[in-house]
Amino acid sequence: MRLDRFLANLPSYNRQQVRLMLAQRRVRVDGQATSDPLTEVREFSRVELDQQLLQAGRPARYLMLHKPAGCVSATQDPQHRTVLDLLPAALRGDLHIAGRLDFNTTGLMILTNDGQWSRRLTQPATKLPKHYLVETEDEIGEHYVAKFREGFYFAFEDLTTQPARLDILGPRQARLTIVEGRYHQVKRMFGHFDNKVVGLHRERMGAIHLDPGLAPGAFRELTADEIATV
């Protein structure tokens, strides 16, 4: 929300008072005095007027988790362990998952309480590349590469997937880069060749790489540089 609207929505101030207090630089957002009415106020922002605290804000959390197999990408599940169950209870709070993974898919998962940031990370319009290491039951042919680049028609959604990059690493192993996150997309792509995916591991989302020192089930806070890439 714009700062002027935030202030005008408070019961104590009218629009004229808001314009005046901004002109006098009496308002601080996250510790910085500002006169700009367009300054963005988010749920994490600390807003002060003189010595009065108008909004305390709350800490924004951005976690990288190495998701193990056999774990549900959900905040709660009556039958299975969830990714939130891997975190200390004190950290779970209002976290949500930015980019889910299937039950047996492993690798990079991001959890945050910043909905605006996570939308930038996951919405299709950003075309943020996601990198996966894929293992298959049968050999991967060189002819796969052109088909992945061309796209696959998914009849259920009545759409053709965006161009993807497939780098063959071995007879049954490849690195796949996609910019979408359709339902079981990777398995369905390889299913076009009747080739079953037996291992799937997400290595990277955009510029955020899974920390090689992070064991399955372990997590860490994202760095400021990692957060800023989204």
Across all residues in the chain, what is the average pLDDT? Answer: 93
Residue 140, φ and ψ in degrees, nearest 5: -95, 120
Segment 193-216, tens digit of pLDDT = 999 999 999 999 999 999 999 999
- pTM (2 d.p.): 0.81
- Asked if residue 27 has pLDDT above 90, the reply is yes
Domains of the chain as residue ranges with CATH: 3-55 (3.10.290.10), 62-228 (3.30.2350.10)
**For residues 67 and 78, what is the distance between their CA atoms, to the nearest angstrom?**
19
The pLDDT of residue 57: 81
- Asked if residue 74 has pLDDT above 90, the reply is no
pLDDT band at 181 (very low <50, low <70, confident <90, very high): confident
Task: Give the residue numbers marked as catalytic.
Answer: 102
Where does the chain have alpha helices with state H? 3-8, 15-23, 89-92, 115-122, 143-150, 185-191, 224-228
Segment 118-159, tens digit of pLDDT = 988 988 788 899 999 999 999 999 999 999 999 999 999 999
Tell me if 44 sits within 8 A of 58, measured CB to CB. Answer: yes
Token couple for 208: 């955020």
pLDDT band at 35 (very low <50, low <70, confident <90, very high): very high
